[in-house]
């Protein structure tokens, strides 16, 4: 990849590392920065271009780093600032970009800002957070709910006011209407950008601004028992406020001070609202994360509709992106099943838009069952038993067949999946038909064929379990045919048009096969066809 290329984030492939679970170098059972440095050659060989690290900053770890008490440091659990600098330099030398997680919506309740803020009603930092009087009955100021269960308001007996927390009570929300807060976070961004980081993934960016009048949220008419309790109400007044776009444009200007860096936003919203986060005149996030595939029912017609809708609502000039997994959602291999995980990989790496891979998905890691006494996730602890726990998608990376999968030499903070003896990087790398080999082949093809990166997405009419599309640019095209079902399907030759030959099958056994007449796909097979 050309280093001076300002659009590297369009051509590149992103890879999310959950640092606690990637590689432990000091035998404490928790992954760290030196561990990541040791594994850079793996990422280079895989062929990804940019690594996004979930938070590495000093934190009491109530939400495993999404509760920060010092924005400009490194938690000793993960290592030192020196190790971080080595990571950036080594990654850059290897042609890899480093993206950090910026968590500006809330701090830890142990952040010095909050400690000052809660000291008294007239502390100069009081207005850095969201403090409100009790309702007339002494209860919370309004009906807003915490995403992790219960009211979003925590009573502070000393000052007899409530503070707002969209997540844990240990994660008080900053007041983004206060310019002092905004500038403090912009300086945090500059601190890391000066160190050479290539951009940020901004945590819950659509939460930053809340309704100025703190109106009650309306009930959710579609709520069903078994859903997380906060979904009883619709977050109409507590998230996705129009004023947030002004704030994001300010963040973007900070990014632009440094050139060639990327601003990614974490946003869970319907597609038509999501695309507003590109900002007016595209002056907002470069990439508002598109999570549509994370919750999509896995069927060809539904996925086709999502792609079509997304392509329709994208503003002119906006660059698309796609995500198959992250540290908050069940593993793709468990959502769609082992066989379809290969088809999902081919989908992700042949769609128009920057793909983001979640660590371990390239080796087919599945959702690990977590026994009650092994639960670490505060979401599961607060709202137990309905399947919201996120530990199962955060288990240690499976590197090899040695104890603890080569992740650590002592007991890991979360259990290793029990299939690690077979399902690990060393084994799968040696198997030319493994899912890891498929990921490498897909990434290699995407790098080789410009139409897979910048070509138009052209749907081709198909029925049943078949998803069919063409990617074409400058008269060059490939056709992607994905069978989202377990039964074989046959594709008529006129639908393929490209003629040509198979460049890649998800089974890795048909490269070079010439297509004569119709094309037969096995159950759970996807192919890329070149003209």
* Residues marked as catalytic: 203, 257
* DSSP letter (8 states) at residue 132: E
Write the binding mask 117 to 156 for ligand GLC: x where contact by CB under 6 A, - elsewhere.
----------------------------------------
The yes or no reply on residue 71 touching ligand GLC (CB under 6 A) is no
Of 264 and 466, which CB lies nearer to ligand GLC in the complex structure? 264
Nearer to ligand GLC by Cβ, of 107 and 217: the residue is 107
Q: Confirm or reject binding of residue 375 to ligand GLC (CB under 6 A).
A: no
Contact with ligand GLC (CB under 6 A) among 32, 49, 63, 304: 63
Report the candidate in 496, 489, 503, 501 with the shortest Cα–Cα distance to residue 460. 496
Q: Name the residue number minimizing CB distance to ligand GLC.
A: 66
Answer whether 484's CB lies under 8 Å from 341's CB: no
**Nearest of 4, 103, 94, 5 to residue 51 by alpha carbon:** 94
Binds ligand GLC by CB under 6 A, chosen from 8, 15, 163, 167? 167
- d(CA 256, CA 124) in angstroms, rounded, equals 31
Report the residue number, 229 or 485, with the smaller CB distance to ligand GLC. 229
Minimum Å distance from CB 461 to ligand GLC? 37
Q: Where are the alpha helices (DSSP H) in 259-298?
A: 271-274, 292-295
Q: Report the half-sphere exposure of 451 (CA within 13 A, side-chain side).
A: 19
Per CB under 6 A, 203 contacts ligand GLC: yes
Q: Where do the DSSP E strands lie in 340-463? A: 354-358, 456-459
Least distance to ligand GLC from the beta carbon of 16, Å? 10
CB atoms closer than 10 angstroms to residue 408? 24
Q: Find the shortest distance in angstroms from Cβ 442 to ligand GLC.
A: 26
CB of 147 to ligand GLC, least distance (A): 7
439 binds ligand GLC (CB under 6 A): no
- Closest to ligand GLC by CB, 325 vs 485, is 325
Q: From residue 304, give the alpha-carbon distance in Å to each of 289, 301, 482.
A: 19, 5, 11
Kindly tell me which of 204 and 365 has the beta carbon lying closer to ligand GLC.
Answer: 204
The long-range contacts involving 230-238, CB below 8 angstroms and separated by at least 24 positions, are 230/145, 230/146, 230/147, 230/148, 230/149, 232/145, 233/143, 233/144, 233/145, 235/144, 237/144, 237/210, 237/211, 237/213, 238/144, 238/152, 238/166, 238/207, 238/210, 238/211
Name residues contacting ligand GLC, limited to 500-519 (CB under 6 A): none
Binding residues for ligand GLC, how many (CB under 6 A)? 9
- Nearer CB in complex with ligand GLC: 59/350: 59
Q: Does 328 bind ligand GLC (CB under 6 A)?
A: yes
| Residues 191, 53: Cα–Cα separation, whole Å | 17
**Pick from 33, 98, 145, 204: which binds ligand GLC (CB under 6 A)?**
204
3-class SS at 108?
coil
Question: How crowded is residue 369: how many other Cβ atoms within 10 Å of its Cβ?
Answer: 12
Query: Does residue number 250 form part of the binding site for ligand GLC (CB under 6 A)?
Result: no
Q: Which of residues 15, 18, 66, 113 is near ligand GLC by CB under 6 A? A: 66
**How many alpha carbons fall within 13 Å on the CB side of residue 107?**
25
Least spacing, CB of residue 67 vs ligand GLC, in Å: 7
* Residue 289 within binding range of ligand GLC, rule CB under 6 A: no
Q: If we measure between CA atoms, which residue out of 106, 89, 104, 101 comes closest to residue 19?
A: 101
Cα separation, 294 vs 308, whole angstroms: 16
Name which of 167 and 407 has its Cβ closer to ligand GLC: 167
Taken in order 181, 182, 183, 184, is the CA torsion positive or negative? Answer: positive
Q: Where are the beta strands (DSSP E) in 138-241?
A: 153-156, 161-164, 199-202
Residue number with CB closer to ligand GLC (197 or 264) = 264
C-alpha to C-alpha distance for 485 and 465, rounded to whole angstroms: 5
Residues that bind ligand GLC (CB under 6 A): 63, 66, 103, 167, 203-204, 266, 327-328
């Amino acid at each position: 990849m050309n280093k001076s290329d300002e659009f590297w984030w369009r051509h590149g492939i992103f890879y999310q590392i959950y640092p606690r679970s990637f590689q432990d170098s000091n035998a404490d059972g928790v992954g760290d920065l030196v561990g990541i440095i040791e594994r850079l050659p793996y990422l280079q060989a895989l062929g990804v271009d940019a690594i996004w690290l979930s938070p590495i900053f000093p934190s009491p770890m109530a939400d495993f780093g999404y509760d920060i008490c010092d924005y400009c440091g490194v938690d000793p659990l993960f290592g030192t600032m020196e190790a971080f600098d080595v990571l950036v330099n080594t990654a850059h030398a290897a042609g890899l970009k480093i993206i950090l997680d910026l968590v500006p919506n809330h701090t830890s309740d142990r952040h010095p800002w909050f400690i000052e803020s809660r000291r008294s009603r007239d502390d100069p930092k009081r207005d850095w957070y969201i403090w409100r009087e009790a309702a007339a009955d002494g209860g919370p100021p309004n009906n807003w709910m915490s995403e992790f269960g219960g009211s979003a308001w925590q009573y502070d007996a000393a000052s007899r006011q409530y503070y707002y927390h969209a997540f844990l009570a240990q994660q008080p929300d900053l007041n983004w209407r206060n310019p002092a807060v905004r500038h403090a976070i912009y300086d945090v961004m500059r601190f890391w950008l000066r160190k050479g980081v290539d951009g940020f993934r901004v945590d819950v960016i659509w939460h930053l601004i809340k309704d100025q009048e703190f109106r009650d949220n309306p009930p959710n008419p579609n709520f069903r028992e078994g859903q997380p309790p906060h979904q009883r109400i619709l977050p109409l007044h507590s998230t996705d406020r129009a004023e947030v776009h002004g704030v994001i444009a300010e963040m973007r200007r900070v990014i632009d001070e440094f050139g060639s860096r990327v601003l990614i936003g974490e946003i869970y919203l319907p597609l038509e609202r999501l695309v507003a986060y590109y900002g007016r005149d595209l002056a907002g996030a470069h990439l508002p994360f598109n999570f549509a595939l994370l919750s999509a029912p896995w069927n060809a017609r539904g996925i086709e509709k999502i792609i079509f809708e997304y392509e329709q609502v994208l503003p002119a000039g906006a660059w698309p992106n796609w995500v198959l997994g992250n540290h908050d959602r069940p593993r793709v291999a468990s959502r769609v099943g082992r066989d379809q995980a290969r088809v999902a990989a081919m989908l992700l790496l042949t769609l128009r838009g920057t793909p983001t891979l979640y660590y371990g998905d390239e080796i087919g890691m599945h959702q690990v069952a977590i026994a009650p006494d092994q639960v670490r996730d505060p979401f599961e602890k607060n709202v137990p038993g309905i399947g919201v726990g996120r530990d199962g998608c955060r288990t240690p990376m499976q590197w090899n067949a040695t104890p603890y999968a080569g992740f650590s030499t002592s007991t890991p903070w979360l259990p290793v999946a029990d299939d690690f003896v077979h399902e690990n990087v060393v084994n799968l790398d040696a198997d030319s038909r493994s899912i890891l080999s498929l990921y490498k082949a897909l990434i290699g093809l995407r790098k080789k064929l410009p139409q897979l990166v910048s070509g138009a997405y052209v749907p081709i009419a198909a029925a049943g379990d078949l998803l069919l599309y063409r990617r074409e640019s400058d008269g060059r095209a490939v056709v992607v045919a994905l069978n989202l079902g377990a039964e074989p399907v046959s594709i008529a030759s006129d639908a393929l048009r490209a003629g040509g030959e198979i460049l890649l099958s998800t089974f890795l056994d048909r490269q070079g096969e010439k297509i004569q007449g119709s094309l037969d796909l096995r159950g759970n097979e996807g192919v890329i066809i070149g003209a």
